[in-house]
Amino acid sequence: MNNTIYKHINSVKARGEKLLAVLIDPDKMKLNNISDFITKVHQSIATHIFVGGSEVDEGLTEMLVIALKKHTNLPVVLFPGDIIQITDKADGILFLSLISGRNPDYLIGKQVEAVSKLAKTDLEVIPTGYILIENGRETAVERVSKTKPIERKNINIIKDTAKAGELLGLKLIYLEAGSGATNAISSHIISEVKQLLRIPLIVGGGIRSKAEMESAYDAGADLVVIGTAFEEDESFFNELKK
């Protein structure tokens, strides 16, 4: 295992530049659309492809990653809701711990289960503190993990959770509003968390316009993740041309 992906994220952060991951859900992407989709990704400012979903049937992730790797040299990083989404065909994996929740399975159980599978791969493993923040309605992550998100107004808990993740040695913090969230993570929350952290900050959930993406960057996100907006309308890529 090397650490090319993480080193690159850190060096981009050091230069004050920004990263964009396109999230592809193996449940939703049709294999015969991949070539066209990737053409649009390549014409855009996207720097990474994340692959994952909160619930995905076994085998679909691997098929999708194999197809993606035929068309792109962008880093393909697994963003798994469960261990069945692990495949050695990707380049790396966000090794998530759901630190906003108090379900031991999602704090450490799934990670223990993943070890024997990861041992058979060459994936770059990136330890990531995953923090789910309430956005007004129940999210897929909340339902699947049976955990409560942190309330938006509890800014001190959000900050302390992110900092605790960093102090535990996690390498990335991911602030998540939930797939298709009505309200993306606010600039206030992003900037408060950013000020505390030395490690890179990922922000995702409910970002649907270039303006929202830029306000996340301005508030301090190093890497923004967008999935649903592209699933709903691929012409959004036109707004994000290089």
Ligand X SMILES: CC(C)=CCC/C(C)=C/CC/C(C)=C/CC/C(C)=C/COP(=O)(O)OP(=O)(O)O
Q: How far is the CB of 79 from ligand X (least distance, A)?
A: 5
Three-state secondary-structure class, residue 199: coil
Task: Say whether 187 counts as a known binding-site residue.
Answer: no
Strands (E), 119-185: 124-132, 172-176
The C-alpha R_g of the chain, in whole angstroms, comes to: 16
Using the rule CB under 6 A, is 206 a contact of ligand X?
A: no
The reply on whether position 23 binds ligand 1GP by CB under 6 A is yes
Q: Is 114 an interacting residue with respect to ligand X (CB under 6 A)? A: yes
Spatial separation of the C-alpha atoms in residues 174 and 121, rounded to whole Å? 24
Residue 128 CB, nearest approach to ligand X (Å): 9
Q: Which residues bind Mg ion (CB under 5 A)?
A: 25, 179
In the bound state with Mg ion, the residue whose beta carbon lies nearer, of 165 and 178, is 178
Q: Please give the C-alpha separations between residue 217 and each of 174, 201, 231, in angstroms, as whole numbers.
A: 14, 10, 22
d(CA 216, CA 224): 7
228 is in an annotated binding site: yes
Shortest Å distance, C-beta 184 to ligand 1GP = 8
By the rule CB under 6 A, 127 interacts with ligand X: no
Annotated binding site: 25, 54, 174-180, 205-206, 227-228
